Amino acid sequence: MWLLKNDIDIPFLKLGILAVTLAIGLTACDLLVEDVLPRSDQDEAVLDSEGVSIQVRAEEQFLLDLRTVVQANTDLELSIVEEPEFGVADIQDQRWLSYLANANFPGEDFLVIAAKRGEEVLDQDTLRISAPPVGECSSAALPFTWVGSLSEPLIVYELPLPVEPDSCFPFDPMQGGFEILTPPEVGNLQVVGSQFLYEPGGDSAYTVRAVFQQCIGGTCAQGILTIQMEAAVPCQLLAQDDFLEIRYAPDSLFSTHVVDVLANDSLCGKAVEIAVLSGPSGTQWYVDSGKIVIEVYEAPSSSAQLVYMISDSAGLDTALAVINISFVEECRVIANDDFYNIRVDSVAEDTVNYFIDVLFNDAFCNIQQVDLQITQAPTLGTATVDDMGVIYSTVPNMELLFQADTLHYRICEGFVCDSASVIIQYE
């Protein structure tokens, strides 16, 4: 019996020993693998710049949206751990990588960025910058910046065109077709035609960015718009100077003039009051329905000023301005009839020239600007204009005794004209 039992137990004993050995071995392998191999989430790359093309020319700047490089949607901190050699780079808002190539950019450069969570560096990646092929343009999105104030409810922006022609400038505002690819995180940005309309949001200064695109003929170009909003400045009253020209005639001096001084003033939506502080001599003034009325009753000097003040109802906000008044004497052109006598000579046979100063009794402002013309010639002689007068030529013999001749003339100063006659009596 003992031999039979031994013959039966030995194989089972061997099988048991083998099973225990395999179990111990598998456990050891599991422990070894867990200690040596990283976890599956550590095996995945956090940063991956493969397929990201960054091209720039010397002294050009671009902004890269780092969401095209970061593969994991986690609370990572991005930083530059190796700076570029031929440009200046920085990370803005943990989202945008800015790179400005210097004048000595040789066509190649690189920088290294790292992704950390806390103090643990999860991944690093090298971003390579290259110059576009000769004759081609860079592929990076162009950066644009505008500065606005939160006191403005709506800001209108248009892309600035290059000062000098640049075949690599990819946008044509005349074509329109702009679209927003990535809206700003604060506020509302829309495109109407070629204009960007931005409605600010928030109460304090901030900076946001947006990505836009324009496609022309199947070719699309992207741009990155940086919007810097400054804190709103409390609105204050602002009075702008006004200008008034008063034209007057010497014989009709009195005149009344109304100046809408608030038309060009900044009132901040407040109800304001107007007070005249001082005015020129020879005038009277008063305020009527938000306007200043000026009455002129005395011959003034060539120029003067009227000082006024606007204020809110509480008198806490005030502003001063002036009305610059220039007085211009308005010329009147008046031609008066003339009478001229010529004595006849019984033995006269030759032509005699007589100078008639027709302007002597006429009214005008500047004789140098007077234009004299003969509009109807005389019948008993001839008449020509000379030295701002009229030369009348005739043979004063006895046949003309007691006869009369007439010529008509016109004087003009600028566009103002008047006419008169000269009656010539032979005696």
pLDDT at 127 over 50: yes
What is the C-alpha to C-alpha distance for residues 322 and 242, in angstroms, rounded to an integer? 6
* Residue 376 belongs to domain with CATH number: 2.60.40.60
pLDDT at 20 over 80: no
Q: Which one has a higher pLDDT value, 134 or 383?
A: 383
Q: Give the pLDDT band of residue 151 (cuts 50, 70, 90).
A: confident
User: Residue 415 has which token pair?
Assistant: 């566009």
- Burial class, 209, CB count within 10 angstroms (exposed 0-12 / middle 13-18 / buried 19+): buried
HEC profile for 309-344? EEEECCCCCEEEEEEEEEEEECCCCECCCEEEEECC
The secondary structure element, H or E, covering residue 280 is none
Does one domain contain both 112 and 151?
no
Q: What is the mean pLDDT of the chain?
A: 82
Tell me what pLDDT residue 167 has: 78
Tell me what pLDDT residue 27 has: 41
Q: Which one has a higher pLDDT value, 256 or 35?
A: 256
Tell me what pLDDT residue 249 has: 67
Does one domain contain both 110 and 147?
no
Does one domain contain both 299 and 352?
no
Does one domain contain both 323 and 347?
no
**Residues 424, 392: contact at Cβ < 8 Å?**
yes
- Burial class, 225, CB count within 10 angstroms (exposed 0-12 / middle 13-18 / buried 19+): buried
When divided into structural domains, the chain yields a total of 4
The secondary structure element, H or E, covering residue 262 is none
pLDDT at 37 over 80: no
Residue 45 in domain: no
Q: What share of the chain is helix, strand, coil (3-state, %, to 5)?
A: 10, 50, 40
Residue where the block lists tokens 């930083």: 79
- Count of Cβ atoms closer than 10 Å to residue 140 Cβ: 22
pLDDT at 12 over 60: no
Does one domain contain both 76 and 116?
yes
Does one domain contain both 74 and 113?
yes
Does one domain contain both 308 and 342?
no
* Residue 282 belongs to domain with CATH number: 2.60.40.10
pLDDT tens readout for residues 85-122: 999 999 887 878 888 899 999 999 999 999 998 888 88
Tell me which of 299, 329, 359 is where a domain ends.
Answer: 329
Residue 84 in domain: yes
pLDDT at 286 over 90: yes
pLDDT at 1 over 70: no
**Least trusted range by pLDDT, from 17-21, 36-40, 109-113, 282-286:** 36-40
Q: What is the pTM of this model?
A: 0.42
Q: Which one has a higher pLDDT value, 9 or 123?
A: 123
Residue 114 in domain: yes
Residue 398 in domain: yes
Question: In one letter, which amino acid is 79?
Answer: S
Residue 100 in domain: yes
Domain that holds residue 315: 242-329
Residue 78 in domain: yes
Show Cβ contacts of residue 391 under 8 Å, excluding neighbours closer than 6 positions: 353, 354, 355, 356, 383, 384, 385
Q: Give the pLDDT band of residue 405 (cuts 50, 70, 90).
A: very high
- The average pLDDT across 77-81 equals 92
Residue 24 in domain: no
**Residues 424, 344: contact at Cβ < 8 Å?**
no
What is the C-alpha to C-alpha distance for residues 303 and 204, in angstroms, rounded to an integer? 48
- The average pLDDT across 317-334 equals 84
pLDDT at 25 over 50: no
- The average pLDDT across 2-19 equals 44
Does one domain contain both 347 and 418?
yes
Does one domain contain both 275 and 303?
yes
- The average pLDDT across 303-311 equals 90
Tell me which of 199, 230, 261 is where a domain ends.
Answer: 230
Residue 413 in domain: yes
What is the C-alpha to C-alpha distance for residues 173 and 212, in angstroms, rounded to an integer? 13
